[in-house]
Amino acid sequence: MSTAQMEKKGLFNRFLNVVEKVGNKLPHPFILFIYLAIFLMIVSFIVNLFDVTVTHPTTSEEIVAKSLLSKEGVLYMLSSMLDNFTGFAPFGLVIVMMFGIGLAQKVGFFETFMKSTIIRAPKGLITYAIIFTGVLGNIASDAAMIIIPPLAGMVYYAIGRHPLAGMAAAFAGVGIGFTANFLIAGTDALLSGITTEAARIIIPDYTVTPVDNWFFMCASVVMLVFVGAFITDKIVEPRLGKFDPKYADQGLINEKISNPTSQEIKGLRNAVIAGGLYIVILAALIVPVNGFLRSDEGTIIPSPFISNIIPIILIMFILVAVVYGKTAGTIKKSADVPTLMAEAMKDMSGYIVLIFAAAQFISYFNWTNLSTITAISSSSLLQNANFTGMGFVVSFILLVTIVNLVISSGSAQWALMAPVFVPLFMLLDYDPAFAQLAYRIGDSTTNNISPVNPYVIMVLGFMKRYDSRFGFGSIISLMLPYTLIILVIWIVMFLAWNLIGIPIGPGTGVYLDQ
């Protein structure tokens, strides 16, 4: 069956066509938040007319719906606009993280690491190396998506394997694994900031830290590598069959893999040594009972180390980036450091614009009390229906997978869902970080089949260079085994983690009282 026939036939492909059309008609996330704010104004006016109230379950305070279209509401929107933006929890966290991560990306550290890991891997471990590099490479954001899939295709072709299988493995690692890492990444800072804003609807001084999902995410890296490699070797590559170069771009077939230079390898080595020494010094300040970064009571959780994790990580990335850049020659003088940081910030401009609109919407939603009213009413409904256990949590994960098909931005989607679902989870006695973790699973697994994800189209373009017959239906069918199998295994892992009672992060469990 030809690719064109595959794309036209089948219930699933027809469903994907509908999703693609709907997703393509959605406005830019910035405009979407503007529309939602306008919709919220209308809803708050109507709900206020009916004097809707609920009783807060913990404080017994009566919560009254307020209208944004009242004099008080209009004045609030005008007077709070700047504070909503500058005081938005994820804003400062992500900007600061990107100073270090962006610098490391601009000097070439991540690209050299990715190439070295994949090219030097033994043939028998190449699939594992590709997926592992893809998962860890998400810390470099867009760079991983641009570098790893094409490189993986070239490596697979060079060792006599189907290049599209290598690209599929890389795309699965970067896309489905974008939220998992051994390191604390920008995603952790961004999501925890949004979760904190939502959690404070119920508990005003509550804070979710970037490390609150770290234990589970570390274990997820291992799961993703082994499961992803199994799917690639046992399902995806056999299904692709023998590679036929007659449909490939001949210029691509003749390309040679660009190995890192000796200077780049030396830079990588020195950067790793510098990072290792930094970690040793950090350990010396944490491990001893009277360590400088422990709390006054001698604990690690909580401690200055946990509360200051972002600047600690920032320093590490700047150190690694500077050592690499000086050795590899991408940093020639001290002035290059702030210049490269500024270039990295240019890549964040779209995020900053989006955050402005998202911050206004979340603030308005909280001010009207509609978020609290929705959460309390929903929790009461679920409790009356006795639907408050893991069935509810799994249903939430599946809901996220569906929403992700039409909203490609993970931060925008969580900014929309968190103000309702985080308080709802909390009223059902679940920790906000647990709700965030459930969201991350659902959001990650459908990234590679979302018709509105621009990287699906970008990777499709890479794949068409190896097979001109490849179309949208082809890449979806190629990536679907990763999505379905990893989703099931990730949910099972998530439930088992809960049943065993392992913390999902330092000092963070499933329930609020842990």
Structural domain includes residue 59: yes
Question: Is the separation of the CB atoms in 142 and 347 below 8 Å?
Answer: yes
Per-residue pLDDT at 7: 46
Question: Is the separation of the CB atoms in 435 and 202 below 8 Å?
Answer: no
Low-confidence ranges of the chain (pLDDT < 70): 1-26, 57-59, 89-90, 93, 140-143, 251-257, 301-302, 379, 406-410, 451-452, 454, 513-514
Structural domain includes residue 512: no
Structural domain includes residue 510: no
CA quadruple 247, 249, 254, 256: dihedral sign:
negative
Task: Please give the residue range of the domain that contains residue 490.
Answer: 3-500
Structural domain includes residue 158: yes
Per-residue pLDDT at 308: 81
Per-residue pLDDT at 471: 75
Structural domain includes residue 506: no
Produce one character per residue of 268-279: b if its CB has 16 or more CB atoms within 10 Å, e if not: bebbeebbeebe
Look at residues 439, 509, 442 and name the one whose alpha carbon lies nearest to residue 190: 439
Per-residue pLDDT at 359: 85
Question: How many domains is the chain partitioned into structurally?
Answer: 1
Question: Is the separation of the CB atoms in 152 and 166 below 8 Å?
Answer: yes
Question: Is the separation of the CB atoms in 54 and 376 below 8 Å?
Answer: yes
Cis? peptide before 302, omega within 30° of 0? yes
DSSP result, 96-121: HHHHHHHHHHHTTHHHHHHHHHHHTS
